[in-house]
Amino acid sequence: MKELILFGDSNTYGYDPRDFFGGRYPTEVRWTTHIKEALKDNYEVIEEGMNGRMLPELGYGYFTTTIQNLTKEDVFVMILGTNDILLTNHPDVEATLQKLDSILDYVNQNCLARFILIAPPYISASDSEMELYHDCSLQLNAGYMKLAKEHNINVIDAGKWNIEMGYDGVHFSIDGHKKFAESLLEVISGIL
């Protein structure tokens, strides 16, 4: 069966922001489960979410190995970038976009599968400390759209979906997971 890989960070993993110990939302709540259920007749949907994941390095690793082993029938969906700006006191959007530029070069040279880049939902400016990260997430998504166009990569801007976040302004709420899945299915149907 054709594979559809969902490669992302804690929101792909299903991290529950109400649990400080890295717990997950129940399976039936996660957006990845909604995608899996909706596409089960056509794809084996593989969830590859990991807390803290950043844009991948291009040396030997899961990302490069997986990309090289996919067929033309497969789909690889990547939703990353939030942690690249969030996990630092001095976010550098330009450095993150340079890294993405290299990744998209690699994808164009090595990936037979359909590659779909998702610019992540914006970080919420829940307080003054988060305003910097919110502003960076806006810049990041604009850069994603530009780079994807330059590389002729399918891209989706999830920042425009107004996904409801948990109290931390970063992780999806239960309703956010549902809306993300619905919005993605609506857009992705025109790509698959």
Which residue type is seen at 36? K
CB 53 within 8 A of CB 9: yes
How many other CB atoms sit within 10 Å of the CB of residue 31?
28
**Tens digit of each residue's pLDDT, the chain (192 residues):** 999 999 999 999 999 998 777 799 999 999 999 999 999 999 999 999 999 999 999 987 899 999 999 999 999 999 999 999 999 889 999 999 999 999 999 999 999 999 999 999 999 987 888 899 999 999 999 999 999 999 999 999 999 999 999 989 999 999 999 999 999 999 998 888
pLDDT of residue 181: 98
pLDDT of residue 152: 97
Tokens 């939030």 locate to 82
Question: How do residues 150-177 score in pLDDT, each as one tens digit?
Answer: 999 999 999 999 999 998 999 999 999 9
Q: What is the pTM of this model?
A: 0.94
Task: Classify the C-alpha dihedral 120-29-4-37 as positive or negative.
Answer: negative
- According to the 3-state scheme, what is the secondary structure of 35-95? HHHHHCCCCEEEEEECCCCCCCCCCCCHHHHHHHHCCCCCEEEEECCHHHHHCCCCCCHHH
Extract the tokens encoding 15: 């991290």
Domains (ranges, CATH) in the chain? Answer: 3-188 (3.40.50.1110)
pLDDT of residue 129: 82
User: Torsion-angle region of residue 14: left (phi > 0), alpha (psi -120 to 50) or beta?
Assistant: left
pLDDT of residue 128: 81
